[in-house]
Chains A and B, each alone.
Chain A
């Protein structure tokens, strides 16, 4: 019979860290960060293996906000009922999560939605992108110690939420995109309000850049920190601003267009190592700031395309797709959101698997953090821009 010699008997400290894959060295120490830490942006726990002030490894523990989204979908009595649940994944940009789901279902059901619906959806999705980036930028400044930009971002965000509230009555979780249409048409003065917002918002991006983006203290904290090289980012499946920050011009709105995105003129901002190395925190941050300008550009073009029409004319009375499966991905503010939907011919889905961008981007966190300081972990985590509702589903 084999005699089991425990670590303690061998004179070693037992490995207290599942996921590290090795014993702790004598100079190493484990610090738990979260789940109630303000800079983890929700309920995320990071186990930091540190050697003094240097982070040797990071082991993220997720699942604190797991609500069985995928199981819930299988228990819905029809496909439309899934939409409110998708809102609750990325709750700061709920329009984008809905958008991906309805695009997938419309492709599956072969529904052609009216022009007016497509245009409104694009405007709303780009509004969502601005809102999401404002929260990302505002809280990122907050993490690093800049309080004022957060207030400015929240102030501008209100204007967008007001427009959305007038349209569908909700400010955070909308249930606005329906399969084949929209829950409400926009109000008659929608176009004017959107134009007015664009006029109001453009100078504010410049102000934000002057206040935060090129601030010396901010640049010192973020440039050359948490560098993610392009090939590593692709191998980890990173997407959205995290991938573009590494210098890869990859945006599904351009590279794999869905809806009517192929009709708009806009640029894909990418990180180029302006202030440090390509793929550092500043690059990822700056991609978001520049994307807001591009979103305004798209909204300005879209609002002129708005044609009259009925936004509910293509909504199917009965949603019962043939047995089959589909994978559709869309570009949300956080990155590539994929829906893998399996239909078995009944009225409810057999399987809905979500590929959340935050989940995948977060899995690259340890590789960005190794070798940095503990304070940098806060900066790196903020630059990934995670929403735990989406990571845990």
Chain B
């Protein structure tokens, strides 16, 4: 399927849950989905026999500055060999996105990483803990406004 077909299919199925899309003029065409509707859109894309996106290649958190955060999902179908990118935008004040862990197990650790690095909370994730940083670390390191703490448990942090 080409990105336009993805967009038509999702818009006709989910209506206002599909917020916008950019299908040309970019390397990877993407479709923006409402953050709380993400799990159902993901499940639909995986199970629909026209799309069959059975692999989540990558899930990335992004700091878009000005208090906005994004989650980017790169999907791929091993059967049809087509790709599509989904995006969800949230604010720093309310960084909640529906978890797709139940759809693709890949998302389990990737969502934990996005939570660890950006503080994006994935609702419905079974085990949302920090993954790379220590459990008692403060702050979200990959946010653009992140300040490195002076000390961590009595150890000097900046080198």
Cβ A342 vs Cβ B74 within 8 A: no
Complex partner residue of A353 from B56, B58, B129, CB under 8 angstroms: B58
Cβ A338 vs Cβ B141 within 8 A: no
Cβ B127 vs Cβ A21 within 8 A: yes
B98-116 contact mask (Cβ, 8 Å, vs A): 1 or 0: 0000001110111000000
CA distance A324 to B28 in the complex (A): 9
Residues of chain A contacted by B81 (CB below 8 angstroms):
255-256
CA distance A92 to B142 in the complex (A): 27
Cβ B56 vs Cβ A237 within 8 A: yes
Cβ A324 vs Cβ B26 within 8 A: yes
B51-70 contact mask (Cβ, 8 Å, vs A): 1 or 0: 00011111011110000000
* A63-B132, A237-B104, A363-B109 known; A324+B27 contact, CB < 8 A: yes
CA distance A250 to B81 in the complex (A): 11
- Closest chain A residue to B109, Cβ basis: A363
**Category for how many chain B residues contact A:** 35 or more
Residues of chain A contacted by B27 (CB below 8 angstroms):
107-108, 324-327
Q: Is residue B72 within 8 Å, beta carbon to beta carbon, of the partner chain?
A: yes
CA distance A329 to B28 in the complex (A): 13
Cβ A392 vs Cβ B132 within 8 A: yes
A358-382 interface (Cβ within 8 A of B)? 359-360, 363-364, 367
Cβ A70 vs Cβ B105 within 8 A: no
CA distance A256 to B74 in the complex (A): 15
CA distance A280 to B123 in the complex (A): 34
Complex partner residue of A340 from B74, B129, B130, B141, CB under 8 angstroms: B74
Residues of chain B contacted by A326 (CB below 8 angstroms):
27-28
B117-159 interface (Cβ within 8 A of A)? 117, 126-127, 129-135, 141-142
Complex partner residue of B106 from A342, A351, A363, CB under 8 angstroms: A363
Q: Is residue A145 within 8 Å, beta carbon to beta carbon, of the partner chain?
A: no
Complex partner residue of A327 from B85, B104, B141, CB under 8 angstroms: B85
Cβ A63 vs Cβ B133 within 8 A: yes
Q: Is residue B78 within 8 Å, beta carbon to beta carbon, of the partner chain?
A: yes
Cβ A21 vs Cβ B78 within 8 A: no
Given contacts A326-B28, A327-B27, A353-B58, 17 further A-B contacts (CB under 8 A): A18-B129, A18-B135, A19-B129, A68-B141, A71-B141, A232-B105, A235-B54, A235-B106, A327-B28, A327-B57, A327-B58, A329-B57, A340-B58, A342-B62, A351-B63, A353-B62, A363-B109
A residues near B (Cβ < 8 Å) are: 18-19, 21, 62-63, 66, 68, 70-71, 107-108, 232, 234-237, 248, 250, 255-256, 324-327, 329, 336, 338, 340, 342, 351, 353, 355, 359-360, 363-364, 367, 392-393
